[in-house]
Amino acid sequence: MSPETRRVRFTHAGPCALAFLASFSIMAVEMAAGRIMAQYVGSGLYTWTSVIGVVLGGITIGNLAGGRLADRFEPRRTLSILFCLACLSCVAIPLINHWVGRWSSWELATFTSFQLRVLTHVTLVFLLSSTILGLIGPVVARLALSLGRETGRTLGNIYAWGALGSILGTFLTGFFLIASWGTCGAILGAAGLLGATGLALGPRIALRFLVIT
């Protein structure tokens, strides 16, 4: 196999790896979300219902906005910034949860509906990070399509690798990461993975963005 062939194959594998890493991180955050909520609102049915709904809602909003980003900006540079932004939003989750928890102890307690209290708490803590993570998918798809392969095959590979990342993120976080690193450790581990990916995509762009923020 010639060096050119190896280079092309590695290039086409890049977007699949990015879809895998983004989906892995989404599920790591979602699996940890139910545990991190337990301190303030418990870990029952209402909590998990709110977590799943809010994360899916954030991904939906992110996908819609990410499609517009993909049409307007160069994919690689955009992905570098989005992965770094996702890293920062995940790092902020424990802090936001603490602030919302202190506020909710007296403000949200006035809500007559416990379900509404749980949903409000989860939304304030996780909607931002899940929305930012949702931005990544359409830009990855645009990057993959720009490499010139068949549209159906390319998108099928992106979706499949994204689904595989979600599966592995679910099992690895639930069976190993939370038990070994703790809830916050699992979230910060996902943040580290996202940050490293952003730096790898564009070191100068990512560092400039992190310095500005």
- Predicted model pTM: 0.85
Q: Which two tokens stand for residue 16?
A: 């699949």
> Residues 174, 29: contact at Cβ < 8 Å?
no
Share of the chain above pLDDT 70, in %: 85
d(CA 152, CA 155): 5
3-state SS, residue 177: helix
Q: Tokens 């038990």 label which residue? A: 179
Q: Which two tokens stand for residue 78?
A: 């955009």
pLDDT of residue 7: 34
pLDDT, tens only, 136-174 = 999 999 999 988 778 899 899 999 999 999 999 999 999
3-state SS, residue 92: coil
d(CA 173, CA 137): 21
pLDDT of residue 1 exceeding 50, the answer is no
Other beta carbons within 10 Å of 144: 25
| Residue 82 Cα distances to 35, 91, 168, 198, 200, angstroms | 26, 14, 22, 7, 12
**Which residue in 56, 46, 66, 22 sits closest to 126, CA to CA?**
56
> What is the C-alpha radius of gyration for the chain, rounded to an integer number of angstroms?
18
d(CA 95, CA 93): 5
